[in-house]
Amino acid sequence: MVSRAKDWLRQALRDLQHAKNSMKHEEYEWACFAAHQAAEKAVKALYQKLGVEVWGHSVSRMLRALPAEIELPPSLVDKAKELDRHYIPSRYPNFHPEGAPLDYYTREDAERAVKYAGEIIEICRGKVLQG
């Protein structure tokens, strides 16, 4: 299998930039979703580097399933769990009892999501780009 790790990582960085741009436009639900996507793609880049195909969208599950020799900060999975909570509710009105996702997301939610995605990306990037 040809490694596409750097492609996944490049797209993760682009998605993180999209999240930051969405914040500037007060599109907090989209910032949260894009942050989730950025983290997901960074973790998939790491799996690619390991030569392993991984499926799904749960960042926390993928982080927990990494081989034991991949050392991660203990808090990283909890941060990924928060990002996982944005995968569906940030996009679909029928997830909420009423209103649209834009009614439920705040600047603080988006700031935290972007921060956590950035942390996940940096850790994965370091592991993908090392020898």
> Strand, coil or helix: what is 71?
coil
Structure confidence by residue, pLDDT tens digits, 18-64:
999 999 999 999 999 999 999 999 999 999 999 999 999 999 999 99
The answer to whether the CB of 117 falls within 8 A of the CB of 19 is yes
What CATH architecture is 5-129? Up-down Bundle (1.20)
* pLDDT at residue 2, rounded to an integer: 77
**pTM given for the model:** 0.96
The answer to whether the CB of 90 falls within 8 A of the CB of 11 is no
